């Protein structure tokens, strides 16, 4: 088993209503020099979060104690740019277990799924709804139910369903990863490789 | 069934399909660099798994390497540690390693094609989103995360849902001063950075047919900047001529067998795409970006669009221009610049340096400009010297650095200082990409050269001989 199981997450959320948040913002390249997966959360959104002298930028949402929770709600086209899985690690290491957006960049979404952070794609309308509810009440509680594939605003009961393929859903519910699967079908792979010249 | 080029290569690499899930895709060639691999190797160790096919993986150091004094120890201890980790992992698992100082060292997407590792019809992955470069040869090539790097090391496979298919046609002849970089930036400006997300692109039409292999690499390289996982171009005689005789290219009977396969690699007439777009080459002029993503680009003679004219949120658009210290409606031409960067997996090949040299020849670097000229590999560096370009570079007051990713992502010391404006031939103009607080204008080597000698954003066509136009 490779990571935590994900079943139902009930949490307040941190809003980041900016579009095209790229992975260089999520974690700048100069923080990719580690050879182990630890400590990346400290540099999540580093240059939006800290001034050059390392003092916190008070107007950035992660420095605003009004907002907290295990869910990050981002703007459209979240996670564009580089393939660095460090971006997903930083999101996880900071304490988020779910990112909600109306549109995800492809590699970031895959990286999240591979490490146990659930990317939840909702409609633009529902995304706007989440942002406005969180703005009105920062203690707004959101329930993400993977089994049912729903996101719900608990206060009002408004909900929307989201897509995830059955294989990945099963992985996340059980905490399996792709290597667990691939190792299990290794004989098929070895057979296939025999007919595939270098 | 009629198949696209993409279908043919993808389908022939599917080991098995997982019901209501991804395909198990066999990977022919795996490229590895020092930044996205150490945690994957650590994962292997923790699971007690060996590398299944070390002969299919190739490692080079590029992201973290200094571009001066490469013969000396790497000063930054964290960078040095990552480079050492790659070397040790490669040794431990029997993977070929072209580290710092090795004559084959260079940017992973430059050396792959140079040594014939990149071949038509292959599946190629690397923990780097610009792996799409290799699609220029009719390969399916795309960037992966570190978990997937571990999968490929362990099983030579990854698990991927088959993407949708898009064909982008650009027809006609390119205008004077318009390069492959401009074609790509033009397409991205039309599609935005998410316009091709979920798709794999095939580039078609006479513009790409007439393009050199290096030009095709530049275009395919930038596929990720429109959100596509990758882009590819059907191999042709130009492709076969390019790869013939390179170190890892098949020879003799193996070449004939490979050719028989490669010649089938084109989209069948009437094969269907999920989306098809067409552009007219005559609409494209030299491009420049003005914002903080590669989709925020325009013809160099235009002015920055008003917020209400662009797609997407007004606040995000204004935040972007605010970061750049630009105003809606500004002209780009004439803006004073501080830095010029020639290099990267996008534009760090010999043709890029030839283009740069064609403009600076007989001129002088502007005194207000700091220029970093970084070849994509030692092979490119050698060609610059052999072709006499180095003399032109020196006479114009520039210097040549040593190969690496350099200021494209500024992991090493090549960082553009906060607030400074750089014209860069690389691929991303994100906030802080070239150093905290740096401001980046993406452009072709011609536009970068024109800026380097004038000290401001300049239309390169004004500095070009008409004769150069047709090339």
Helix axes B350-360, B378-386, angle to 10 degrees: 40
* Chain A residues 17-36 within an 8 A CB cutoff of chain B: 17-20, 22, 24-25, 28-30, 32-36
Residues B17-36: pLDDT tens digits?
999 999 999 999 999 999 99
Q: Is the dihedral of CA A30, A32, A33, A39 positive or negative?
A: positive
B258 and B370 co-located in one domain? no
- State how far the Cα of B350 lies from the Cα of B279, in Å rounded to an integer: 28
H-type alpha helices, B1-66: 5-11, 38-47
| Domain range enclosing A102 | 8-194
Residue A141 belongs to domain with CATH number: 3.20.19.10
* Closest by CA position to B293, among listed A159, A25, A156, A107: A25
Q: Which of A17, A182, A194 to mutate to test the interface with B (most CBs of B within 10 A)?
A: A182
Residue A174 included in any domain: yes
Establish if B280 belongs to a structural domain: no
- Are B39 and A47 within 8 A, CB to CB? no
Q: Where are the alpha helices (DSSP H) in B30-76?
A: 38-47
Same domain assignment for residues B342 and B445:
yes
CB contact under 8 A, B197 and A177: no
Only one residue has tokens 């078609």, namely B204
- Pairing of the two strands A118-121 and A142-145: unpaired
Is the CB of residue A173 less than 8 Å from the CB of residue A145? no
Q: Which residue carries 């480079």 as its tokens?
A: B83
From the list A68, A49, A66, A46, the residue with the least C-alpha distance to A58 is A49
Number of domains in chain B: 2
Confidence of residue A160 (pLDDT cuts 50, 70, 90): very high
Which residues 38-67 in chain A show a CB within 8 A of chain B? Answer: 47, 52
Residues B396 and B251 in one domain: no
Cβ distance B159 to A76 less than 8 Å, yes or no, reads no
Assigned domain for A110 exists:
yes
- Say if the ipTM goes beyond 0.85: yes
Q: Give the confidence band of B466 by pLDDT, cuts at 50, 70, 90.
A: low
Q: Of B245, B275, B305, which residue constitutes the final position of a domain?
A: B275
B260 and B305 belong to one structural domain: no
Could you tell me if B265 and B166 are in contact, meaning their C-beta atoms sit under 8 angstroms apart? no
Q: Is the pLDDT of residue B470 over 50?
A: no
**Residues B337, B243 share a domain:** no
Nearest residue in B to A53, CA atom:
B436
Q: Residues 95..154 of A with a Cβ closer than 8 Å to B: which?
A: 103-107, 110-111, 114-115
Cβ atoms of B399 and B373 closer than 8 Å = yes
A2 in a structural domain: no
Does residue B262 share a domain with residue B159? Answer: yes
- Per residue in B100-119, pLDDT tens? 999 999 999 999 999 999 99
pLDDT of residue A2: 66
Of B410, B409, B88, B411, residue with least CA distance to A33: B411
Pairing of strands B339-342, B370-373: parallel
**B275 forms bridges with which residues in the sheet?**
B166
C-beta neighbour count of B257 within 10 angstroms: 12
What CATH number does the domain containing B390 carry? Answer: 3.30.499.10
Matching residue, tokens 């992502």: B409
Nearest to B35 among A18, A32, A181 (CB): A32
- Note whether B307 and B261 are same-domain residues: no
* Mean pLDDT across B39-50: 97
Q: Is residue A3 part of a domain?
A: no
Tell whether B297 and B238 lie within a shared domain: no
Distance from CA of A55 to the nearest CA of B (A): 15
The token duo for A122 is: 């909702």
Task: Check pLDDT > 70 for residue A1.
Answer: no
Q: Is there a single domain that holds both residue B186 and residue B300?
A: no
The whole domain housing B209 covers 5-275
Q: For residue B249, give both structure tokens.
A: 């290219």
Query: Would you say residue B282 lies in a domain?
Result: no
CB-count exposure of residue B237 (10 Å: 0-12, 13-18, 19+)? exposed
């Amino acid at each position: 088993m490779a990571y935590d199981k994900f079943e139902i997450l009930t949490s307040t959320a941190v809003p980041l209503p900016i579009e095209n948040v790229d992975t260089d913002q999520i974690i700048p390249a100069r923080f990719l020099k580690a050879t182990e997966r630890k400590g990346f959360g400290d540099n999540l959104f580093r240059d939006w979060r800290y001034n050059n002298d390392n003092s916190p930028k008070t107007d950035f949402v992660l420095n605003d104690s009004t907002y907290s929770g295990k869910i990050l709600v981002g703007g459209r086209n979240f996670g564009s740019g580089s393939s660095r899985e460090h971006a997903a690690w930083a999101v996880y290491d900071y304490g988020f277990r779910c990112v909600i957006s109306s549109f995800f960049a492809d590699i970031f979404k895959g990286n999240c799924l591979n490490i146990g952070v659930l990317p939840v794609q909702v409609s633009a309308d529902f995304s706007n709804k989440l942002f406005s509810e969180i703005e009105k009440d920062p203690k707004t509680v959101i329930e993400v139910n993977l089994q049912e594939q729903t996101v719900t605003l608990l206060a009002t009961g408004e909900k929307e369903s989201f897509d995830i393929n059955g294989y990945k859903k099963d992985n996340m519910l059980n905490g399996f990863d792709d290597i667990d699967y691939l190792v299990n079908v290794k004989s098929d792979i070895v057979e296939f490789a025999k007919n595939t010249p270098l | 069934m009629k198949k696209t080029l993409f279908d043919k290569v993808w389908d022939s690499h599917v080991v098995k399909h997982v019901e209501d899930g991804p395909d198990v895709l066999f990977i022919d060639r795996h490229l590895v660099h020092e930044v996205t691999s150490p945690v994957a190797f650590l994962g292997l160790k923790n699971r007690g798994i060996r590398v299944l096919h070390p002969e299919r993986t190739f490692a080079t150091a590029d992201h973290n390497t200094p571009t001066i004094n490469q013969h000396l120890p790497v000063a930054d201890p964290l960078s040095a540690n990552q480079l050492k980790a790659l070397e040790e992992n490669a040794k431990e698992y029997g993977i070929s390693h072209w580290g710092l100082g090795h004559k084959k060292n260079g940017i992973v997407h430059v050396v792959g094609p140079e040594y014939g590792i990149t071949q038509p019809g292959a599946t190629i992955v690397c923990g780097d989103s610009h792996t799409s470069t290799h699609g220029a040869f009719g390969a399916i090539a795309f960037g992966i995360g570190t978990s997937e790097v571990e999968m490929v090391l362990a099983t030579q496979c990854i698990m991927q849902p088959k993407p949708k298919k898009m064909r982008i046609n650009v027809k006609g002849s390119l205008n004077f001063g318009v390069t492959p970089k401009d074609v790509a930036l033009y397409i991205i400006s039309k599609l935005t950075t998410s316009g091709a997300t979920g798709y794999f692109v095939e580039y078609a039409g006479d513009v790409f047919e007439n393009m050199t292999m290096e030009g095709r690499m530049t275009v395919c390289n930038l596929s990720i900047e429109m959100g596509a996982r990758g882009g590819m171009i059907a191999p042709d005689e130009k492709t076969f001529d390019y790869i013939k005789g390179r170190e890892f290219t098949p020879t003799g009977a193996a070449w004939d067998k490979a050719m028989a396969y490669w010649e089938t690699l084109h989209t069948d007439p009437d094969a269907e795409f999920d989306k098809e777009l067409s552009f007219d080459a005559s609409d494209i002029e030299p491009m420049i970006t003005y914002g903080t993503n590669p989709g925020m680009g325009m013809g160099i003679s235009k002015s920055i669009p008003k917020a209400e004219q662009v797609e997407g949120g007004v606040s995000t658009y204004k935040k972007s221009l605010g970061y750049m210290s630009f105003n809606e409606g500004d002209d780009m031409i004439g803006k004073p610049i501080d830095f010029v960067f020639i290099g990267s997996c996008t534009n760090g090949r010999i043709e890029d340096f030839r283009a740069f040299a064609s403009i600076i020849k007989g001129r002088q670097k502007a005194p207000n400009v700091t220029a970093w000229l970084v070849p994509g590999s030692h092979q490119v560096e050698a060609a610059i010297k052999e072709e006499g370009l180095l003399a032109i570079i020196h006479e114009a007051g520039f210097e040549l650095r040593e190969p690496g990713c350099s200021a494209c992502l500024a992991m090493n010391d090549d960082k553009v200082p906060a607030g400074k404006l750089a014209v860069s031939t690389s691929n991303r103009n994100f906030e802080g990409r070239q150093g905290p607080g740096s401001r980046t204008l993406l452009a072709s080597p011609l536009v970068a050269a024109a800026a380097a000698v004038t000290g401001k954003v300049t239309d390169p066509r004004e500095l070009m001989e008409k004769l150069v136009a047709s090339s």
